Structure 1
Amino acid sequence: MSNTALHAAAEAGDTAAIEKLLADGTPIDARDGSGATALLVATHANQVESAKALIEAGADVNAKDNIEDSPYLYAGARGHLEILKLTLAHGADLKSTNRYGGTALIPASERGHVETVRTLIEAGVDVDHVNKLHWTALLEAIILGDGGERHRQIVDLLVKAGADVNLADGKGVTPLQHARAGGYKAIEAILVAAGAH
């Protein structure tokens, strides 16, 4: 039952219990029924201190659960910036992908996590990675975003990072066409200025 205790301590943010369990020999990357490690459980709950204790003790930031989420990917997708930065400092695999074939940058862009997107771009995540839906981070920010200020900032960050503004989706629809269809004038202006057609 020690795995359960470590997962429970991680979820509760009980770093003292985590440290004691690890000192007693509990395997740090043991899995629960969903395939999650204690670090992934801490990441789900955005328990920064738990995550920090586990990462500093050597937990695998790239260990995936049964649905292909890892602490790094989940922190990026959910905008859990402090945990994301810890995973990046401890060997996060920037090329790893989720069950949709997307990098952490794609869901971060879709969900409007501006600082997370900035952090992932600075870390070197491929801005033009195409997922299984044939969408890039730029396309997801436009198609699944709300056209508001956070998504405008994300489009701007992606464009400044060299995202291909003419990389179309699987049906041949470009980012500019999607922005126009959504009535997203500010995003349209950024794309046009960057040479989108």
Structure 2
Amino acid sequence: MIIGMGGLLLAAAPVFSAEPVLPDPVAFTNSMELGDVRQAEKWLDAGMPPDFLGSRIGSGLMIGAWEGKLDLMRLFISRGADIDLLNANGESALALAAWRGQLAAVKWLLERGARINAPARRWSALHYAVFSGHAEVADYLIEQGADINAQSTNGSSVLMMAVYEGHQELARKLIEKGADRSPKNDWGDGALEWAMRQNRLEIARMVSNPEEFNIAVAKPKESWGAPVRSLRSSKELENLLNIRETLVKRGYSTDTVDKRIAVERMRIVRADVDRAAPARAATLEITARRGKPQEQSAKMIQDEPAKAGYAAPPATYFGKPKMPPKAPVRNY
């Protein structure tokens, strides 16, 4: 009878789920940015997947690379984290380390087999290093085999990133190392067009031959379109800048908010480079028939980009998009 009772009690015992205990994504990111290895170990021991994604930046490995915290990176790799995992923006741990200029993290990742080159027409770690002006990181990536002529999602080259941000010495170094100066993105813009739009004549001279440069400088400035602002604003960025200003006034550290500003700024710039066609010069076209002035008409004609990019905004492009040519298959 006692055995029977025990059997009944055993049968009635609750069955506990084996589901892992997951942290709050915001709390996870905050803790990982602080480099809290012990807390990471507790979450992992409780069943958290090693590639768990936080509220910003990405996984624990990605946050470690972004912050340059090698201990955190070692922990997540030892627990099975994917070294080449991409976040929602298509960024790997290597790309994030390159963006922040974390040379030690870049070296650590490459020594452990991180993929140095992104697939065709994707943002690469070298794009990020050059765009953010980290010459030492860019040099190391190139030495280790980074594709110096890699193109982003809309075909913008690594050299064009240096031009976009006005990194003249980096542009010079890329050219000296053999960077191709001729590629144009899906909007028909290349390094020369970007340099002229930003009125960076020294860079324009570097990325063109004498004949091309003379033709370019002879054109009216308006023909190149409006300069592209490298720091277009957003509501999130404005809020972060206001928070930073308040912290400065109160004498507090701005390290955390500065990192969030960097993330938001890169998001804005990527959106501009990937999707936005540059402003073009407009022409006033007037038509009339002799003897019938009442039939006169006028309209503004906006110059179209040389190519209709497949990523053209729906509000400004109508019709069937022209897809770019297929990129050659590369083996990495």
Shift of 1:135: 0.5
Whichever structure has more helix as a proportion of its residues is 1
Alpha-carbon distance in structure 2 between the residues aligned to 1:181 and 1:36: 34
Aligned to 1:164: 180
Question: Structure 2 residue aligned with 1:83, among 102, 105, 116?
Answer: 105
1:95 deviates by 2.6
Measured at CA, do residues 132 and 117 of structure 1 come closer, stay the same or move farther in structure 2, by a change above 3 Å? same
Residue by residue over 1:137-165, the C-alpha shift from the partner in whole angstroms, topping out at 9 and shown as x without a partner, is 111221x20x2xxx112112221222101
Alignment of 1:28-67 (within 5 A): 28-32=50-54, 36-55=58-77, 59-67=81-89
- Structure 2: any 5+ residue segments left out of the alignment? 1-19, 214-332
Per mean C-alpha deviation after superposition, the further-off stretch among 173-182 and 70-79 is 173-182
SS of corresponding position for 2:207: helix
- Decide whether the 8 Å contact of 1:166 with 1:196 is kept in 2: no
Q: Distance in 2 between matches of 1:195 and 1:27?
A: 58
1:141 to 2:162 alignment: yes
Return the offset for 1:134: 2.0
TM-fit CA distance, 1:122: 1.6
CA distance in 1, matches of 2:205, 2:189: 17
Tell whether the 8 Å contact from 2:62 to 2:93 is kept in structure 1 after alignment.
Answer: yes
Any conservation in 2 of the 1:13–1:50 contact (CA below 8 Å)?
yes
For normalisation by structure 2, the TM-score amounts to 0.48
Bigger CA drift: 123-132 or 58-67? 58-67
The answer to whether the 8 A contact 1:73-1:97 is kept is no
Alpha-carbon shift at residue 30 of structure 1 (Å):
3.7
Letter in 1 for 2:89: I
Decide which structure has the larger Cα Rg and report it: 2
- What is aligned with 2:117? 95
CA contact (8 A) 1:139 1:169 kept: no
Would the aligned equivalents of 1:141 and 1:155 in 2 still touch at CA under 8 Å? yes
For the 8 Å contact 1:76–1:116, the answer to whether it is kept is yes
| Preserved CA contact (<8 Å) 2:61 2:81 | yes
- 1:156 and 1:21 map into 2 onto residues whose CA distance is 47
Given residue 173 of structure 1, which amino acid in structure 2 is its aligned partner? D
**Aligned residues of 2:57 and 2:63 also touching (Cα < 8 A):** no
Cα distance change of structure 1 residues 81 and 195 upon mapping to structure 2, 3 Å threshold: farther
Q: Structure 1 length as normaliser, TM-score? A: 0.74
Write the deviation string for residues 100-159 of structure 1: whole angstroms up to 9, x where unpaired: 8211211322222222221221221111122222211111221x20x2xxx112112221
Write the letter of the residue equivalent to 1:157. Answer: K
Q: In structure 2, how many angstroms separate the alpha carbons of the residues matched to 1:12 and 1:179?
A: 40
Mapped to 2, the partners of 1:179 and 1:33 lie a distance apart of 36
Q: Distance in 1 between matches of 2:211 and 2:162?
A: 18
Report the alpha carbon displacement of residue 81 of structure 1 after superposing the two structures with TM: 2.3
Counterpart amino acid of residue 36 in structure 2: D
| C-alpha contact (below 8 Å) 1:76/1:108 kept by paired residues | yes
How far is 1:43 from its partner? 3.0
Pick closer, same or farther for the CA change 1:195–1:154 going to 2, 3 Å.
farther
Write the distance in 2 (CA, Å) between the matches of 1:37 and 1:73: 13
Q: Which runs of 5+ in 1 are unaligned?
A: none
